[in-house]
A = this chain, B = another copy of it.
Amino acid sequence: MIETSPELLNALRAAVPGGVLTAAEDVIAYGFDGTFYEHVPPLVVLPSSTAEVVAVHRIATERRIPITPRAMGSGLSGGAVPLGGSIVLGVARLDRILAIDEVDRVAVVQPGVITARLQAAVEARGLFYPPDPSSLKQSALGGNVAENAGGARALKYGVTGDYVLALEVVLPDGTLIRTGGRTVKNVTGYDLRRLFTGSEGTLGTITEITLKLLAKPAVARAALAVFDRIDDAAQAVTAVMTSGILPTAIELVDNFTMRCIEENRPIGLPLDAEAILIFGADGNHAAIVDAEIAEIERIVRAHGARDVQVAHDEAASEKLWTARRSISPSLARRRPNKLGEDICVPRASIPAMVRRVREIAAEYRLEIPLFGHIGDGNLHPNILCDKTDREEMARVAGAARAIFEAAVALGGTLSGEHGIGLLKKQFMELDVGVDALRVMRAIKDAIDPLGIMNPGKIFPEPGGADSFSL
């Protein structure tokens, strides 16, 4: 634990007037994120300007004090949980939308802007910011960029990183750099934008983001397909994805997840079915989007869907999406904790991965509701648990390892959209290999030679236990 010496507090209070929290009841909320970790920081600094962020970095560098940058702390990998006595540098007060430019088609934002707020602001002008992490009403763009967040619409539109045109970043020592610009094409030197995007606060603090915008599609439709057999659902996904149609989203909700939803608040899901798939489609021409939905219906019926509901307007679409949106609160009511994964596998491996998750749940005697962005192979097996039950947590650790090993063996990866953070760091070598990991470490050391940025994240600890064993 870092000593919060009077000298340090005075320096931070002078640099960030009115923005230093030290009272136990104030700082406790900054020790959590969307996972089950808790590491209360010694203090929290909430700058209101880039200059104040720079000042905090300088103070921390001089004193070798670790910093964990944090936006809204809704992440699912432990990335924002402060370890090693880190102080928290919260960017929630940097919450201005600085520009929405309709000609250049960009938005310039501070990192504390809530994702849904930006989406509403650009949509009011007929523009579109596609990335839609499920947390979009809570999460902020700084966190989305730091974790390179995905979302359901990533299937058609890509992830957060595909929209980052420029970043302003405060390097560990307080140096302010800008990388990228307002142009869509830019190959001037190494791609630092992409390096900082997804670097989970381990290389610096993001203070400004320039995002690419699209024109808002005029029409959106949805369809919900019911499958007696989950294996048929997985096969249907592969069939749709090789048909030439590119849906905005294909979401899986399995039977166990449906039961959790209905237990929490009944919405009439078909509990006698093994799985449902929810499809989205959008475009500028209603006739085309309707034809695509009809083709999706034809394909899924040919692959065993027993029932298909189609939503032809926004209200009906929202109703179909309710099932997907109510998963997280429903799971939280069933058991005290969950270990949410976001493995991603190639399309051809989707049916095998679905089968393997079900086998692992049986092997380890655990409840593992399975849902997620099945269209791009990015699945969310959520292992339900009680973190105070040591025997159960040992089985959770075994099941998590088995899921990671299966994903990698099937040609996939540990994380499609949540990042590695604390939760998956001990599995990095399994996925990327010892040599690529060494390259990542060399980059980290080159940019953060004192190692003060968000310690304990991404990189495995030698001899460390599975980091979700608590």
Is there a chain B Cβ closer than 8 Å to A142's Cβ?
no
CB pair A191–B104 under 8 Å, yes or no, is no
Taking CB atoms, residues of chain B closer than 8 Å to A12 are none
Q: How many residues of A contact B (CB 8 A)?
A: 83
The docked-state distance in angstroms from the alpha carbon of A345 to that of B176 is: 23
Taking CB atoms, residues of chain B closer than 8 Å to A103 are 238, 242, 346-348
The docked-state distance in angstroms from the alpha carbon of A82 to that of B148 is: 37
Partner pick for A101 among B178, B197, B348, B444, CB 8 A cutoff: B348
Question: Given A179-B432, A285-B288, A288-B288, A187–B419 Cβ distance below 8 Å?
Answer: yes
Q: How many copies does the complex hold?
A: 2
Is there a chain B Cβ closer than 8 Å to A397's Cβ?
no
Q: Mark A118-141, 1 if CB is under 8 A from B, else 0.
A: 000000001000000000000000
CB pair B344–A413 under 8 Å, yes or no, is no
Q: Give residues of chain A (374-402) contacting chain B, Cβ–Cβ below 8 Å.
A: 376-378
Taking CB atoms, residues of chain B closer than 8 Å to A446 are 442-443, 445-446
Closest beta carbon of chain B to A171's beta carbon, Å: 7
Q: Give residues of chain A (162-203) contacting chain B, Cβ–Cβ below 8 Å.
A: 162, 171, 175-179, 181-192, 194-195, 197-199
Taking CB atoms, residues of chain B closer than 8 Å to A190 are 195, 198-199, 440, 443-444, 458
CB pair A179–B347 under 8 Å, yes or no, is no
Instruction: List 22 interface pairs A-B (beta carbons < 8 Å), by A numbering.
Output: A159-B187, A161-B191, A171-B439, A177-B436, A178-B436, A181-B346, A185-B376, A185-B416, A187-B198, A187-B415, A187-B418, A188-B428, A189-B428, A189-B437, A190-B443, A190-B444, A192-B440, A244-B284, A285-B288, A442-B446, A443-B446, A443-B447
Binding site for B on A (CB under 8 A): 101-106, 126, 147-148, 150, 154, 159, 161-162, 171, 175-179, 181-192, 194-195, 197-199, 214-215, 238, 241-242, 244, 246, 284-285, 288, 344-348, 373, 376-378, 411-420, 424, 428, 431-433, 435-437, 439-440, 442-447, 458
